[in-house]
């Protein structure tokens, strides 16, 4: 049975997060150095690693926050009513996850649960995405969308194609436009019922 953390620890934790946020805002995730974070926070290096398992754990928190912000906008937006508007609605999510290689790598590596019960903020967010997609899809099954598959399964598929398209975008150095086109070309057969 461990005690509750002292105020000092909570304050230090907050300072570390704030420092990291500032650095990322001023440069990028890729350029963030643990050494600079602790310098700015006014603590020793060892302190950092007593607060975060490793550098990635900090990135997971920060990126989780960003995804959270995007999702909170999406849940209050009007639901898309066909595949084209669905692709358009996904744009902010694509922009967030594909903003940097570093971000995408972290997202992919942490998109699933880390361990039973030990679910991280990014995995949590991915779960929220599925829930939102289901809310979007289910009412339109039989009309705009196919009805021969579980909506949760369809939602997971959207995620798979989302990831695939962003990954492709990092390799092929093409425009954002191409990404949305490609996403549309995948989601059309995925979400609409197969024609004879």
Partner DNA sequence: TCCTTATAATGACCGTGGTCACTTTATGAC
Partner DNA sequence: GTCATAAAGTGACCACGGTCATTATAAGGA
Residue bearing tokens 């990635």: 56
* Alpha carbons 24 and 53: distance in angstroms, whole number: 19
Q: How many residues bind a second copy (CB under 8 A)?
A: 38
* Alpha carbons 72 and 77: distance in angstroms, whole number: 9
Angle of helix 151-171 versus helix 121-137 axis, rounded to 10: 120
The answer to whether residue 45 forms part of the interface with DNA (CB under 7 A) is: yes
Q: Residue 147: helix, strand or coil by DSSP?
A: coil
The answer to whether residue 46 forms part of the interface with DNA (CB under 7 A) is: yes
- Nearest C-alpha neighbor of 78 from the set 126, 28, 36, 140: 140
Nearer to DNA, 5 or 112 (CB): 5
* Alpha carbons 76 and 92: distance in angstroms, whole number: 14
Question: Which range binds a second copy by CB under 8 A, 19-27, 44-52, 65-73, 149-157?
Answer: 149-157
The answer to whether residue 69 forms part of the interface with DNA (CB under 7 A) is: no
Among residues 28, 39, 47, 184, which is the contact residue for DNA, using CB under 7 A? Answer: 47
Q: Within positions 33 to 52, which residues make up the interface with a second copy, using CB under 8 A?
A: none
Q: Within positions 120 to 139, which residues make up the interface with a second copy, using CB under 8 A?
A: 123
Choose the one of DNA, a second copy, none that binds residue 43, judging by a C-beta under 5 to 8 angstroms depending on kind. DNA
* Alpha carbons 58 and 48: distance in angstroms, whole number: 9
Question: Is the Cβ–Cβ distance between 94 and 82 less than 8 Å?
Answer: no
The answer to whether residue 2 forms part of the interface with DNA (CB under 7 A) is: yes
The answer to whether residue 116 forms part of the interface with a second copy (CB under 8 A) is: yes
The answer to whether residue 56 forms part of the interface with a second copy (CB under 8 A) is: no
The answer to whether residue 101 forms part of the interface with DNA (CB under 7 A) is: no
Take residue 131 and report the two structure tokens written for it: 């829930």
Interface residues with a second copy (CB under 8 A)? 105, 108-109, 111-116, 123, 146-149, 153-154, 156-157, 159-161, 163-164, 167-168, 170-173, 185-186, 189-190, 192-196
């Amino acid at each position: 049975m461990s005690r509750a953390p002292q105020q000092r620890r909570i304050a230090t934790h907050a300072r570390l997060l704030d420092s990291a946020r500032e650095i990322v805002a001023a440069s990028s995730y890729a350029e963030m150095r643990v050494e600079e974070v602790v310098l700015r926070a006014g603590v020793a290096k060892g302190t950092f690693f007593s607060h975060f398992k490793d550098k990635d754990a900090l990135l997971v928190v920060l990126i989780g926050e960003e995804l959270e912000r995007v999702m909170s906008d999406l849940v209050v937006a009007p639901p898309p009513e066909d595949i084209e508007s669905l692709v358009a609605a996904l744009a902010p999510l694509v922009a967030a996850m594909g903003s940097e290689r570093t971000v995408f790598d972290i997202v992919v590596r942490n998109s699933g649960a880390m361990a039973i019960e030990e679910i991280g903020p990014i995995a949590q967010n991915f779960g929220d995405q599925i829930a939102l997609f289901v809310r979007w899809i289910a009412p339109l099954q039989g009309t705009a969308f196919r009805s021969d598959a579980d909506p949760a399964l369809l939602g997971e598929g959207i995620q798979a194609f989302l990831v695939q398209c962003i990954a492709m975008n990092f390799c092929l150095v093409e425009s954002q436009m191409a990404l949305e086109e490609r996403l549309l070309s995948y989601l059309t057969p995925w979400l609409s019922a197969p024609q004879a």
